[in-house]
Amino acid sequence: MLMIISSCKAQNTDSNDFKKNKKIERTTEKFDSWTYYTQRQGSEYVFEDHLRGKVRQFGGDNGSEFVEYARKNNELYGSYKEFYNKTKTLKKIGRYYYNKFSIGIWKLYNEDGYLIETIDKDFPYKNYPWEKVEKFVKEELKLDLFDKNVSIRRYVSDKTNIPVWIIHYKVGSNIVFIKINANTGEIIKKGTNPIIK
């Protein structure tokens, strides 16, 4: 609750206050809307960038924010960026696991480019972090993380407030699922479900 209140306060802070405090992080990154609108096909613009891999941009219509996903084919992680529609300045930036979830530090900026909030998406999973899940999947389950039949998600349970990892993978005509308590690393549920066609 305190984080929500303090982030709301920061959003209402006058941009002159940010300028006075030289230690506040600021971004000057802007969305290239001219290229986007002249190159997009339908509702999105997709292109290859030698540094970032496949880039997919969409949004901007009817006042919506511009969104960009980028990821190289041989990497598990990609980048996410969101830009304000009016000013084209960077609004939000972070990384994601290509299969399902946000990772690492995410940053939120105001329309003048000043940092107003950082969120550590990995914090709830610090006792059983991604590295342990990756090792478990590769070494114990002997699964390929790039296999489209392997899916990993994470969430904090609404009922118990426990952070959870869920691994799904296909075996024959079934989906195997494993649920791991991220506080203890303990497998709390394992089972199979038939694939519904």
**For the residues 11-24, what does the mean pLDDT come to?**
53
Average pLDDT, the chain: 89
Number of H helices, E strands in the chain: 4, 11
For residue 45, report the phi and psi dihedrals to the nearest 5 degrees.
-120, 120
Q: How confident is the model at residue 14 (pLDDT cuts 50, 70, 90)?
A: very low
SS3 breakdown of the chain: % helix, strand, coil, rounded to 5? 20, 45, 35
* Angle ∠(121,123,126) on CA atoms, nearest 5: 130
pLDDT above 90 for 17: no
| Model pTM score | 0.80
**For the residues 20-31, what does the mean pLDDT come to?**
82
Predicted pLDDT of residue 111: 96
Instruction: Say how far apart CA 31 and CA 34 lie, in whole Å.
Output: 9
Predicted pLDDT of residue 23: 73
Query: For residue range 117-133, what is the model confidence (pLDDT) as tens digits?
Result: 999 999 999 999 999 99
Q: How confident is the model at residue 21 (pLDDT cuts 50, 70, 90)?
A: low
DSSP secondary structure code for residue 136 in this structure: I
Query: For residue range 139-190, what is the model confidence (pLDDT) as tens digits?
Result: 999 999 999 999 999 999 899 999 999 999 999 999 999 999 999 999 999 9
Q: How confident is the model at residue 22 (pLDDT cuts 50, 70, 90)?
A: low
